[in-house]
Structure 1
């Protein structure tokens, strides 16, 4: 009997370890490669236990997120408190939302809980969670004015595209943006409409003072970047000065990022890719321009043969950049 108990305990331990290993692997997904535009935010969301993958080890980034799913993601991002177990997995989150008087379609209609959430509902939900009661265009204006969103096609109420649905990838990127913009808690929405005089103005990107900021290992998590993706390559002093020259000449004017390709040492070939697309070879002195409201990321990769020696990833419109190689 004693021997049987030992075997049973060992078996349980084995199962537990196996389950833990499977959970750990689920922070990487078969359908989300490093080249995916939302790779960093999806990794962040999985590591923070905000989102999960599916049993087939996929994330399904292009699948629309439902209202119930987004509500769970929002609460999980800013409040790690354990909610009571209910028959339907989302019921506890709706109870939480009702206690805070948040505006949700599913509060009045059960069917809305499992339908794709619109960007407009997201705006009204997030504004309520900030402690204000604005709806419609006013809710969108609040998000844009506070820098909690940059819109979808551009930084305007129309460009926010409130009638569009939100994919799983867009949802986790949106939540990471909220964290990066300084949102750190969940408030109750007032019963009455908030004072319109408190609505922030939507910033004019043409006149905004945008400065380039390097994401390093000390501030990576603050910006939603996994530290191991910063300075993950060995230092290459031969090309380091050229990269510094490239960075120092970056500028944004009238919502346009302008970059000029510097001279690299013999044997070093620079490439540019946009939104994690195909790498395009560029030449010394070439000037490139990108609309910061329509471009998510621009990468400069410098290769010797097939080996990458330098890598700069510029996120837009935030103008934050990651230098992949160690450097002085």
Structure 2
């Protein structure tokens, strides 16, 4: 049986996609985003190999920012969120395979294009030389989080959203998720963070809200300021998770991670800055940083939870301005 290993299991490498000119990245934003993506790639490369998929004709510019030790491959791209456009790798213990979800621009949003990105999962599977398991479910890698022992986190407004899977029931979604990931129990959260429903939001990805740290232990975003609408939302998430048992019957231990203190961006919109959107690679936690007093608080929490990993903060504000975080731009290939 194939299953998705947890993110803390050993990796063969990390896959990323290079920002190119599109609706998300224009003008100065594109240059700043490339610097931000390069910072994440170099941070991960200290601990494991990184392959960056770059748009046609963009390899030279990418190489100048990435350095010599990150592998580059050219493929047609629309956007740069490898967690969502890339495959979800699964293994049966001896062989690796790649789940190819249907990708439709985060629910067919009017600014998005996905002619090329909808094919990236298969390109990556081909480059990794692994077979493809095709799914009929519209889904993205940022919309799932597993504990490696049968439990998966999902959100109502993603898998059950009208823009992704109209007509699918909760039972049908769970059956497909379990068949592809080797999971047995789904824990549903009702929605994502408020800022994730803005123009470039995902409409509720779970990887900015909650993430397993190990079996039986789940991290959850905790907005501390009552002025922010996520103050109430984050309490809903914590209450739901505290009332759940995982697939093995363990009552979940919930670790609340305080949100950064900033509440709004320069345009006056609520931010969804979150430390939950971290990335675990071999020997490290690559942690979102925001030049915020709570950066140190979050680093301490992650340091205690992952004492054998190096906590590596990387400024994620530019990435969040584009609609995601560090987890959203990385995708692990497990070691078999």
Tell me the TM-score range normalised by the shorter chain.
under 0.3
Higher helix residue share: 1
Using structure 2 for the length normalisation, give the TM-score.
Answer: 0.26
Instruction: Give the TM-score taking structure 1 as reference length.
Output: 0.27
Largest Rg, 1 or 2? 1
